[in-house]
Amino acid sequence: MAKYSFVIPCYRSENTLPKVVAEIKSEMSRRKGDTYEIVMVNDCSPDNVWSVIKKLVAEEDNRIGINLARNFGQHSALLAGYARCSGDFVVSLDDDGQTPLDSLGELIAKIEEGYDVVYAYYRVIKQTAFRKFGTWMAKRMAEIMLHEPKDVKGSSFFIARKYIIDEIVKYKNAFPYMGGLILRTTRNIASVPTNHRKRLEGVSGYSPFKLLSLWINGFTAFSVKPLEFSAFLGFILALAGFVYAIVTIVRRVSGITQVEGWSTIISLLLIIGGMILIMLGLIGEYIGRIYISINNSPQYVIKEMVGVKEDL
């Protein structure tokens, strides 16, 4: 059984993954006596990454490869890897080479202080303006919807104790969101600063639509605050309508006539109608997720595995 497990979700990384694995091996070679394993999960990547994973697994006996039947998303791929790792501490990282493994020792030192989860946060984010905005939005959402402590600065590079990972794996909903799963398990979280490198090649696999889906997934799976906000907004609009009705009656009794503008009426109808449709869509999103969960839709489907030992 390894002391450290590295879990890497893989997508469009046939050229970068070997460099990431080599960096892990180089870094762990400095930690004499610490055993480790590397779990690589192919999230149905359209490139040749599965062949690369099989080659990497064949080189060392402390590596595991998992091939998913279709693209389930980064968070589902992480769960697939978590279910097959055995380390006392589990390190999650990306496959694009932006994660600086030279800061691994800082994460390990911090978690040995007694924390359950330690994130590495980037001093300067080497991403496009859109991705930086997405990161900012995810942080605000976590603070508002999931009550994440303001001093916690997260990223996809973090280390967690095995009992936290074991608890996360128990989650069977078809819409996993790692930030929410960690926060509902523990609040004993710390962060350490690190550098952020440029991507070795290619672009992020997160399109605007995928980022939006991730945000929606985060707050609908672990919070009912959007529904509470909808109810509050509906109350405010109803109150405004009631006050306006009283004003209209008073003006009528006082003999004050008012010519209603067509543009004003149409604008109000569009605004209120749009809000109603948004609220209905939000309610429908919750109901749809309940329906999918009741149907036991899988988080992931494993097509093939290599390097898995019998005791796993």
Chain mean position to CA 198: 21
- Eight-state DSSP code of residue 291: H
Q: What pLDDT sits at residue 46? A: 92
H or E element in which residue 38 lies: strand 36-42
Q: What pLDDT sits at residue 133? A: 66
pTM of the entire predicted model:
0.76
Half-sphere exposure of residue 227: CA atoms within 13 angstroms, side-chain side: 10
Q: What pLDDT sits at residue 274? A: 72
Secondary structure (3-state) at 145: helix
- C-alpha to C-alpha distance for 29 and 23, rounded to whole angstroms: 10
Evaluated on CA atoms 172, 176, 180, 181, the torsion sign reads positive
Mean pLDDT by 10 residues, the chain (312 residues): 91 92 93 92 94 96 96 93 94 87 90 94 66 66 69 85 95 85 90 75 59 65 71 75 74 67 65 76 78 81 86 46
- What residues form DSSP beta bridges with 191? 119
Q: What pLDDT sits at residue 40? A: 97
Residue 269, C-beta contacts closer than 8 angstroms, at least 6 positions apart: none
Would you tell me how many other CB atoms lie within 10 Å of the CB of residue 42?
29
Domain residue spans of the chain: 4-206+297-306, 225-294
Q: What pLDDT sits at residue 312? A: 44
Q: What pLDDT sits at residue 76? A: 93
Q: What pLDDT sits at residue 184? A: 86
For the domain spanning 4-206+297-306, the CATH number is: 3.90.550.10
Would you tell me how many other CB atoms lie within 10 Å of the CB of residue 83?
18
What is the C-alpha R_g of the chain?
24
Secondary structure (3-state) at 171: coil
